[in-house]
Amino acid sequence: MQLQAGWIVGARRVASPHFNQRPDNEIPTLLVIHNISLPPGEFGGPWIDDLFTGTLDPAAHPYFADIAHLRVSAHCLIRRDGEIVQYVPFHLRAWHAGVSCYQGREACNDFSIGIELEGTDTLPYTEAQYAALQAVTRLLTEHYPQIAENITGHSDIAPERKTDPGSAFDWERFREGLETSHSRSSR
């Protein structure tokens, strides 16, 4: 896996208009893991792409009427089958964290990368999702080394508002997979 101009080579690219420049001299130093399903609890379909590109039809589902106006994005989505969809190049600021604080720093969008897992707080994530997330995380830490020590959930940077990636996300499994891969590559 490799990057080209901030995009993952080979990932499905769906360019979002919901991004802007990071503050001057700011590079990503934090990875924020989220989850999303649209409608809630349902997987597949075009709805996440539509939300992140500002084209979600508010009449397509009753839930969408309340969210269709939102201007949000993430850098990537990892679907249930492990497909990686990228919406915003990593060097630019995606609008995923909202009001947030990490280790005393507010406005996490300024210095973070947001990755959404297609899922819910309570349904287990798939093997393919963990593998894809670990691969993307390794790629990001190659380009942005400080991320290796700064990986957190949306619930940790916005605890009053958010619960994702939820109790279903196995942090130990995710981190062990990173360590196992790292020790194999350093032999």
The yes-or-no answer on residue 160 being catalytic is no
Judged against a pLDDT cut of 70, whether residue 187 lies above it is answered with no
How does residue 183 score in pLDDT terms, banded at 50, 70 and 90? very low
Judged against a pLDDT cut of 60, whether residue 176 lies above it is answered with yes
User: Helix 127-143 vs helix 171-185: angle between axes, to the nearest 10 degrees?
Assistant: 60
Domain extents in the chain:
11-16+25-182
Res 179: pLDDT? 79
Classified as helix, coil or strand, 16 is coil
CB 137 within 8 A of CB 177: no
Q: Domain 11-16+25-182: which CATH class?
A: alpha beta
What the block records as the tokens of 136 is 């993307």
Catalytic: which of 116, 127, 172, 179?
116
Q: What is the pLDDT of residues 70-117, one digit of tens each?
A: 999 999 999 999 999 999 999 999 999 999 999 999 999 999 999 999
Q: What is the pLDDT of residues 6-55, one digit of tens each?
A: 999 999 999 999 999 999 999 999 999 999 999 999 999 999 999 999 99
Q: List phi, psi (to 5°) of 107.
A: 60, 60
The residues near 175 (Cβ < 8 Å, ≥ 6 apart) are none
Is pTM beyond 0.75? Reply is: yes
The residues near 126 (Cβ < 8 Å, ≥ 6 apart) are 80, 81, 82
Judged against a pLDDT cut of 60, whether residue 161 lies above it is answered with yes
Task: Output the CA torsion sign for 163, 167, 173, 176.
Answer: positive
